Each structure stands twice: as structure tokens, then as C-alpha cells.
Amino acid sequence: MVRGKVDALAENLAASEEAYRQIREMAGIRSPTGDPADRRTGRGAASSPSRPRKLGKEERDLLARSLNHVPSVWPLTKRGFVTEEFSPREGHTGLDIAVESNTPVLAAADGIVVGAGRDDVYGTYVLVQHDASTLTAYGHLALAFVRDGDLVRQGDIIAQSGNSGRSSAPHLHFEIRRNGVEVDPRTYLQR
């Protein structure tokens, strides 16, 4: 019963966000990047899966003191099944891990959320900056529990897996980026 209510709320929220995006687009209201589909974050900087917000000095200092900034924790509470491997030559920049919708998604390492929103491709997404050069991206979520500026610890539940955006079945799209370049998550993750 509770799960049904949460699912209904998630659907209502997604529909409201899409309606808001369409109204902004029709009204010609644009973000600082010029893209009407971009969402403004709580920190006042535009963010999208391809353009995460930059950390401020205070946030960089906080991360520098973290001991768990290497993304090594499997990003789901369930093992799941990898349906698509990291293959940048074919245009796939992360791992697709099939799990049922609403499976808890975990922060792979300590970090600061630098983006959380909705995108046509990634659907509902979360971006976490772990140190000056390492970022993780979580896409196709049903629901994000964090927002821009939140501090997360390795293993914290940050979202629920889903089927949002350009997706054909419930799964988590998981990326690790080093210095802005996608790398194979399997080189970091422990299962």
C-alpha cells in the first residue's frame, strides 16, 4: 500500500516537473546555459548530467578531508545484472545494471551532490563529486532523495532505481568520471 502511494507520488512529481519545463520553454525562460530544459540548482548554478556544478572552496576543503573519496562501493543494495558494459566507442559511458524499480541506490563514495534533477536522456539523475577529479553519475532513477549541496557518505541511500528518461526497462545507469572523462566503473567497484 505504501509502495503504491510512493509510486503515485513519483509519477505526479515527474508529470509536474515536465509541465513546469514545458511552461518555461513556452515562456522563453532560459537558464544561464541558454537551455530552457536546464534546471537551476539550490546553489544558483546550472547543472545537467553533462555539465555538473563546480564545487566552491569550502566544499573542496571538506572533500579533501574525506577518507572514502574513491568510488568503490557497488551502487545498489542488490547485486542486479549488468545488461550493458562500459563501451565508449559504442556511445555507452557507464554500466547499466538491471534491478527492479525502487531498489535503493547507494553513494559509491563520500562526496557532495553537484547535480540532481531531470534530463530527457538520463531521466531523474544524481551527480556526486568525490574529490577534485572524480565524479559519479546515477541515471534513470525513480526518485532522488538528495539535492544539490548535500553531503553524502559512502553507502548512503541517495535514490531509488527506476525507468525514467531514455530507458526501455528498470535499471541504474552508473558512471564514473575522472577529470571529466568517463572511465570503466568496474576498475573501481567492489561487488
Per-residue pLDDT of the chain (191 residues; tens, 9 = 90+): 666 665 665 566 566 566 555 555 555 554 333 333 443 333 444 567 777 788 788 777 777 776 678 899 999 999 999 999 999 989 899 999 999 999 999 999 999 999 999 999 999 999 999 988 999 999 999 999 999 999 999 999 999 999 999 999 999 999 999 999 999 999 998 76
Instruction: Domain count for the chain, please give it.
Output: 1
The predicted structure's pLDDT at residue 52 = 79
Provide the CB-side half-sphere exposure for 135 (13 A, CA). 24
pLDDT score, position 35: 39
* Residue 22, domain member (yes or no): no
Residue 4 DSSP SS3: helix
What's the Rg (C-alpha) of the chain?
A: 16
- Asked if residue 15 is part of any domain, the answer here is no
62 in a structural domain: yes
Domain for residue 137, yes or no? yes
Q: What's the pLDDT score for residue 153? A: 94
Own/partner pairs for 141-144, CB < 8 Å, 24+ apart?
Answer: 141/105, 141/172, 142/7, 142/10, 142/101, 142/102, 143/6, 143/10, 143/13, 143/102, 144/116
Domain that holds residue 64: 43-187
Contact predicate 25/37, CB 8 Å: yes
**Domain annotation covers residue 147:** yes
Q: Return d(Cα 135, Cα 155) in angstroms, integer.
A: 15
Q: Give the CATH number of the domain where residue 71 resides.
A: 2.70.70.10
Query: pTM to 2 decimals?
Result: 0.71
The verdict on residue 144 lying in a domain is yes
Predicted pLDDT at 161: 98
